[in-house]
Amino acid sequence: MSQTSCWVVTDGKPGMENQCVGLAEALDLVPVIKRIKLRSPWRQLSPWLRIGKSFATGPNGDQLSPPWPDLLIATGRHSVVPALSVRQQSRGHTFTVQIQDPVIDPGHFDVVVVPGHDRLRGANVLVTDGALHRVTAGRLAAAAARLGPLYDHLPRPRVAVLVGGDNGVYRLTPTVMGDFAERLTHLARSTGGGLMVTPSRRTGTDNEAILRARMREVPSVMWDGTGENPYFAFLGLADAIVVTCDSVSMVSEACATGKPVYWVPLAGGSAKFQAFHDRLTDAGIMRRFDGSFDTWRYRALDDTQRVAAEVRQRLAAR
């Protein structure tokens, strides 16, 4: 694998790009990141419009041109047509891995990776418990060692709080945030512990203000968006993790630590998200957050390493 060239192709959304990069890193590869922008009409009609595939990517994004990579890892609706174009232009040299349901026949790719709550199945479809990611024990330990002294003042148990926000399925309303903040402060008071909070760009300034105001009452820190992102350090330093339910990626990363994980319901939802949360809850991996604190053990999710082993084997066989 050390001589294998690899591209990661996405539309640039961090959560989606991280899934691809995580798989590449699990294969011990340093990928070339390609953030593409589609032209019209492919932008509106991808992945169904596949005529003229080589013209689909526009000048505002990274260009896809020879030499073609040995391995291409892509995800997202806008990556489907470019991935197919590279596979065709390389005359099958490029081994293509598509993460998430491409909404077209998976036979167009060498491997398709989907979470269990998606219905897609096939001989080349690998099914995971959650999303692929970049969380490894080594990465968390290194981040905790590097940034840990900044949080030595926080008492234990330390709880990492991963806050998402609005998306196409969920809404983080001020009412929900207020209730969530109350439960967090109750947790800190009842345990005598500290909170390490990292919001996302989707959290919103009003919700962040609500959370900051409540957290002044207990030992806590919240990343303000400056300096190094402490996300991995928080996961490494935490004794338990609380995560909002809106992101399969964040929940999967939390459950990859092997630490107690509490999930927080938001307004809205969908059958797919509910199936995902139910499966991990029923498996004893995570519990719904009610402000209480407990500890339990489970086998940490290892989807990324498992998929990497399968991709490595299929590449070698080819």
91 and 206 housed in the same domain: no
Range of the domain at 260: 137-288
pLDDT (tens place) for every residue of the chain, 318 residues total? 778 999 999 999 988 999 999 999 999 999 999 999 998 988 888 888 787 788 888 899 999 999 999 999 999 999 999 999 999 999 999 999 999 999 999 999 999 999 988 889 999 999 999 999 999 999 999 999 999 999 999 999 999 999 999 999 999 999 999 999 999 999 999 999 999 999 999 999 999 999 999 999 999 999 998 999 999 999 999 999 999 999 999 999 999 999 999 999 999 999 999 999 999 999 999 999 999 999 999 999 999 999 999 999 999 998
Alpha helices in the chain (DSSP H): 14-26, 42-45, 80-89, 137-147, 174-191, 205-215, 231-237, 248-255, 271-282, 303-317
DSSP 101-118: --SS-GGGSSEEEEETTS
Is the distance from CB of 29 to CB of 1 less than 8 angstroms? yes
How far is the C-alpha of 54 from the C-alpha of 63, rounded, in Å?
10
Can you count the helices (H) and strands (E) in the chain? 10, 14
Residues 284 and 149 in one domain: yes
pTM: 0.91
CATH of the domain at 71: 3.40.50
Domain count, the chain: 2
What single DSSP character describes residue 151? G
- Identify the bridge partners of residue 32 per DSSP, sorted by sequence position: 7
Same domain for 233 and 99: no
Distances (CA, A) of 37 to 40, 68, 116, 175: 10, 19, 29, 37
79 and 124 co-located in one domain: yes
Q: Is 293 within the bounds of a domain? A: no
Name the 3-class secondary structure at 157: coil
What is the structure's pLDDT at 175? 96
For residue 264, being part of any structural domain is answered with yes
Measured in degrees and rounded to the nearest 5, phi and psi for residue 164 equal -95, -130
Residue 104 CB-density burial (10 A; 0-12 exposed, 13-18 middle, 19+ buried) = middle
Q: Please state, in angstroms and rounded to a whole number, the distance separating the CA atoms of residues 150 and 146.
A: 9
Q: Is residue 175 part of a domain?
A: yes
Q: Report DSSP state, residue 53.
A: G
Q: 39 phi and psi, to 5 degrees?
A: -80, 165
CATH code for the domain in which residue 177 is found: 3.40.50.2000
